[in-house]
Amino acid sequence: MWKRESERLNGRVMKETLRYLVGIAGPSGYGSKSSAEQVTEHLQCSSPLTAIITGATSGIGEETARVLAKRGVRIVMAARDMKKAAKVRERIKREGPEAEILVSEIDLSSLASVRRFCMEFAALGLPLNILINNGGVFSPNLEYSDDKLELTFATNYLGHYLLTELLLDKLIETSRRTGIQGRIINVSSVVHCWVKKDDLCFTHLLNPNKYNGTRAYAQSKLACILHAKEVARQLKERDANVTINAVHPGIVKTAIIKAHRGFITDSLFFMASKLLKSIPQGAATTCYVALSPQTQRKTGRYFADCNETKCSSLANDELAARTLWMQTRALILRELGEPV
């Protein structure tokens, strides 16, 4: 019996790997080789939409901003490096002079900075239709944020948790007023599957005893999926016309991949690089979930290659999701000294 199960699992893995390598389209009509422009080609916005995108100064975030702007979405770039953000804005405007691109400063690893960004956005008086929690870091060595929290977890998860909480009412209000469903996208990663339940100790996530950069990154990406699951449940309870989903962009040729290079040999890196997605392909799933009518009303799901797919059993654990959300809220209340 065990042998048959093992053979069945191996067969499924081989089938999925072949589908990925060849770029075979899934039920959505798109696959691993689809680009962000291709999946949004017929999705020009008839009504004006506003999207906030974190980490839009390079890689997947920049391509997401470029393609959404090309489809008529007003973009608010939430950026730590304002000089880089200004250059990206110029590049997008050169391609489409009519694009509306605003830039606002944020440091996701700082809770105070996240709160300041949200106050500045509120002062603009803009609607909010889409929130893309894309920004992220990979730190090979143990580092701490200004809040004395482990940097990878603070940036990839805690900052986006607070950003979402502070912007949720605006997303709900915009959807009620316009009738257009609000959408939140958490950019996660398939490496979330590497995390075991014993590794999900909140205290250790904030201040690990033995630090491993890859493990910390995987833990932060698991937290992003659990966050999407719990917030989706809460939004359903509120009967809010807002969805939240997590996406795996694929293994993409970005700065984060380069940061991992020191942990594998050059030969392995060369072989692995042949399986990597291009940045336009990496941004496809985010853009698809953000704009496609096929993802309307889908919430609390996990997408890869522009198709809904399965995440790990731990990522589907409702109790783990609720517990993490409550622990995070308690931490932020303690750090900020007031309700979020």
Contact 92, 68 (CB under 8 A): no
CA quadruple 127, 168, 88, 42: dihedral positive or negative? Answer: negative
Q: Which of 211, 217, 288, 302 is catalytic?
A: 211
How many other CB atoms are found less than 10 A from the CB of residue 132?
29
In this structure, the strands spanning 307-308 and 242-248 are unpaired
Query: In angstroms, rounded to a whole number, what is the distance separating the alpha carbons of residues 92 and 68?
Result: 10
Tally Cβ neighbours within 10 Å of residue 105: 15
Q: What is the DSSP letter of 242?
A: E
Q: What would the two tokens of residue 177 be?
A: 């007023």
CA distance 38 to 284: 8
- The helix/strand/coil state of 277 is strand
Nearest to 185 by CA among 293, 291, 79: 291
Q: Helix, strand, coil: what percent of the chain each, to 5?
A: 55, 15, 35
H or E segment and range at residue 182? strand 182-187
Question: Which element (helix H / strand E) includes 74?
Answer: strand 73-79
E-state strands within the chain: 49-54, 73-79, 101-105, 130-133, 182-187, 242-248, 302-304, 307-308
How wide is the angle at C-alpha 135 spanned by C-alphas 38 and 219, nearest 5°?
110
Look up 144 and say whether it is catalytic. no
Residues 221 and 228: their CA atoms lie apart, in Å, by 11
CB 271 within 8 A of CB 279: no
The residues, ordered by sequence, that sit 6+ positions from 312 with a Cβ below 8 Å of its Cβ are 192, 193, 195, 222
Q: Which amino acids are annotated catalytic? A: 211
